[in-house]
Amino acid sequence: MTDHAQSSFVYVTYVKTTPDRLWEALIDPDFVAQYWLGNRPEAEWRLGGSWKLLFPDGRVADQGEIVAFEPPKRLGIRWRNEWKPEFNAEGYSICMMELEPAGEGVKLSVTHSIERADSPFIAAVSGGWPKILSNLKSLLETGTVVLPNKP
Partner 1 sequence: MPTDDDIFRALADPSRRRLLDRLHVTDGQSLGDLCEGLAMTRQAVAKHLAMLEAANLVVAVRQGREKRHFINRVPINEIAERWIGKFDQPRLSALSALKQHLEGEDND
Pick the stretch among 7-15, 18-26, 31-39, 64-72 that binds partner 1 (CB under 8 A).
Answer: 7-15
Nearer to partner 1, 49 or 148 (CB): 148
Among the listed residues 73, 78, 80, 131, the single contact to partner 1 using CB under 8 A: 131
Among the listed residues 141, 147, 148, 150, the single contact to partner 1 using CB under 8 A: 147
Among the listed residues 67, 77, 133, 140, the single contact to partner 1 using CB under 8 A: 133
Nearer to partner 1, 58 or 149 (CB): 149
Among the listed residues 14, 45, 55, 92, the single contact to partner 1 using CB under 8 A: 14
Q: Does 109 bind partner 1 (CB under 8 A)?
A: yes
Instruction: Please report the sign of the dihedral spanned by the C-alpha atoms of residue 121, residue 127, residue 133, residue 135.
Output: negative
128: left (phi over 0), alpha (psi -120 to 50) or beta: alpha
DSSP letter string, 99-142: EEEETTEEEEEEEEEESSTT-HHHHHHHHHHHHHHHHHHHHHHH
The minimum distance between CB 19 and partner 1, in angstroms, equals 14
Among the listed residues 77, 105, 119, 125, the single contact to partner 1 using CB under 8 A: 105
The whole-angstrom separation of Cα 69 and Cα 139 is: 23
